[in-house]
Chain A
Amino acid sequence: MKRYTINIFLFAAAVVLVLLAQFKAPGSDSKILDGYVLSILMLIGINCIFAVSLNLVNGYMGEFSCGHGGFMCVGAYVGSLLSVAFFSNSKLFGTALFAPYLAPFLFPLVLLGAMLAAALAGLLVALPSFKTRDDYLAIITIAANYIIISLIENIDAIGGPRGFSGMNKTINAMTDLVSLPWMLMWTLVGVYICVAVVRRLMSSTYGKGISAVCQNEVAAEMMGINTNRVKIMAFMVSSGLGGLAGVLYAHVYGYVNASSFGLLKSTEGLVMVYLGGMGSISGVLMAAVAFTLLVEVLRFVIPWLNDGLHAIHVLPDSYQLDQVWTWVFIPLMLILLMQFRPEGFLGNRELTHVFPRLKRWFTLK
């Protein structure tokens, strides 16, 4: 029973979300979850995937990867290109490969293609990891991030620095067939797949090889673990799921630009992982939700703060507190967190360790 209760609960929650996004509130013209709330929900989902996948390398394997944004970028671009090639007529690919009404059925292929491409890009980091560790590998991951971004910015056929768009047609094709909040549904499915993959991997003996490599590589090698293969596997799964976050992101916004997947994006991932606790799926999920909401809340708080500080004449009239300050407040919070709770929300534990009663409903380990 335990196996099914959590899945039934999650499925019910997903159905409720989709229904709320689907139907209008009585006596009102807009959907119960309007476009803005919906976009934040989807962003939370994307950030969950992004952070949980990064956690595989930074948390469980104990390497410091700072280039996760790069793999998200590969996923976003490859997914977008596949999407456009499959379902819309474009200058780049000519006529659509498939009829538009097939879009809802063939969209998983787009996701799969994006994940595969991102996983292959993960080799860029996995292969050097055989001989390099720690700080040096961290530098390689930064380099990989830059390589990917620059490469894409310099391919003019896919828009170069102007970015790439056209994915909206795929979404429109889906809504034309059945009017549903498709991207919300795909994002929910993506989050579920990502968490399931990481959870199943890390609770199997096969996946625990990752922790073994992290804690004592010599012992791991001696006890029969092919450490090189484990590293390749961990990096490829991590970057592949990062690519899933990317392709969803591209379709939620209908537009991608390589520059939005730079080091700042990778840093966001790091913030979420360290906020939640390395090696804890539930902690990182909580952190991804909290972080995304915090960024949104600051969007409102900063103007209020600006008005307030002007009203009491703390700030000079000539200076306006603007959104740039988001990136002062969030890093400041990170400094405080590292100072007072360096292990993050949950450290190395899962929610079920902190509240053992939850074990009746689900286990994450």
Chain B
Amino acid sequence: MPLLKIFGLTQRFGGLQALSDFSFQMEEFQLVGLIGPNGAGKTTVFNIVSGFYKPTEGGVVFDRKPISGLKPHQITALGMARTFQNIRLWNNMTVLDNLRLAGYAWLGYGFWNAILRTKRYNQSERDIENHAREILEMMDLTDYAEEFPRNLPYGLQRRVELARALVSKPRLLLLDEPAAGLNSADVEDLIRHIRWIHEKFKLSIWMIEHQMKVVMNLCQHITVIDFGCVIASGTPEEIRNNPSVIKAYLGDDTL
């Protein structure tokens, strides 16, 4: 049984067909990539899978549960987390608070426990704090725990966002262009971190990425889409030599 199964996904925005009949599936503990030229519909796929859009047609099954139509926070609670193409951290909170808040999905208490400071509240806050600090440590971010994200360099902000996604204890991690805007040293770091969390947490990772270095290095399997349709899928080696992929990226004339 695949961990994530997408079938016949179609998304129309008014007259624009952003996705047509997109199907895909991935197994547990796979690390796969989704690539395609700008505007191909990659982020639309992620937005549907994570619950921000309701697809016009088709559906998504995550861990045997149909999830299209659920709210993003419900999908997160089922064990999916994602990062964003443009970093979306909470900038007026410290890095540690950012990570702590990602534990919201498995917070063991509600309003009255917080007001009355019950045992349950203390226990739950302690668990979250420990987990967040553990992840900070693993991602080499402990030194920045009390910094505000907006004061950190871009590469570190990316890493904080990755760390935050991990705190929600996901089984499937969606990374939307994790290497966007990073310099080559940061990219090396990122590749190392992604490979490491993949092994360490036994995570399934699905990433959108433009930098071929990242995709070719990390992914076991790649899907290519253009104009909302799948045009190829296979191992990095197959994709590299696929004529329709080269055509989509470079155009007809160069061939």
Contacts and interface: CB of A to CB of B under 8 A. Distances in A.
A236 B152 CA distance: 36
Contact of B102 (A204, A215, A224): A224
Interface residues of B, number: 39
Nearest to A279: B92
B105 interface: yes
B96 to A, nearest CB: 11
A222 B114 contact: no
Nearest to A216: B88
Contact of B84 (A215, A219, A226): A219
Given A209-B104, A224-B168, A225-B101, A218 B71 contact: no
A206 to B, nearest CB: 5
B197 interface: no
Contact of B110 (A196, A206, A208, A227): A206
Contacts of A220: 90, 101
Interface of A: 196-197, 200-201, 204-209, 211-212, 215-216, 218-227, 233, 237, 348
Most-contacted residue by chain B among A209, A221, A223, A233 (CB, 10 A): A223
A197 B88 CA distance: 29
B53 to A, nearest CB: 12
A223 B100 CA distance: 11
Contacts of A222: 50, 52, 72-73, 76, 81-82, 84, 88
A48 B237 CA distance: 67
B13 interface: no
Given A221-B72, A222-B50, A205 B88 contact: no
B109 interface: yes
Contact of B104 (A197, A200, A224): A224
A211 B92 contact: yes
A207 B72 contact: no
Contacts of A209: 101, 104
A244 to B, nearest CB: 14
B106 to A, nearest CB: 8
Contacts of B48: none
Contacts of B186: none
A348 B92 contact: yes
A211 B100 CA distance: 13
A206 B107 contact: yes
A200 B116 CA distance: 8
Most-contacted residue by chain B among A207, A222, A227 (CB, 10 A): A222
A219 to B, nearest CB: 4
Interface string B106-128: 11011101110100010011001
B89 A205 contact: no
Interface of A is mostly: helix
Interface of B is mostly: helix
B104 A205 contact: yes
B77 interface: yes
B111 A216 contact: no
Contacts of B107: 205-206
A224 B103 CA distance: 8
A270 to B, nearest CB: 21
A205 B92 CA distance: 15
Nearest to A207: B114
17 contacts: A200-B117, A204-B121, A208-B101, A212-B90, A215-B90, A215-B92, A215-B93, A218-B84, A219-B90, A221-B72, A222-B73, A222-B84, A222-B88, A223-B73, A223-B81, A223-B165, A226-B71
B164 interface: yes
A225 B110 CA distance: 12
B219 to A, nearest CB: 23
A205 B103 contact: yes
A196 B114 CA distance: 11
Given A204-B125, A215-B91, 19 more contacts: A197-B115, A200-B114, A200-B115, A200-B117, A205-B125, A206-B107, A206-B113, A208-B100, A208-B101, A211-B92, A215-B90, A216-B91, A219-B90, A221-B72, A221-B73, A223-B168, A224-B73, A224-B106, A233-B111
B164 A211 contact: no
Nearest to B164: A223
Q: When A and B form their complex, which 4 residue pairs have the shortest distance between CB atoms, in order from nearest?
A: A224-B105, A224-B76, A219-B88, A204-B114
A218 B73 contact: no
A232 to B, nearest CB: 10
B97 interface: yes
A224 B105 CA distance: 5
A204 B121 CA distance: 9
B168 A219 contact: no
Nearest to A199: B115
A237 to B, nearest CB: 8
A206 B109 contact: yes
Contacts of B91: 215-216
A218 B104 contact: no
A237 B107 CA distance: 20
B105 A223 contact: yes
Given A200-B115, A207-B114, A222-B82, A216 B89 contact: yes
Nearest to B121: A204
A219 B89 contact: yes
A200 B100 CA distance: 16
Interface in B52-106: 52, 71-73, 76-77, 81-82, 84, 88-93, 97, 100-106
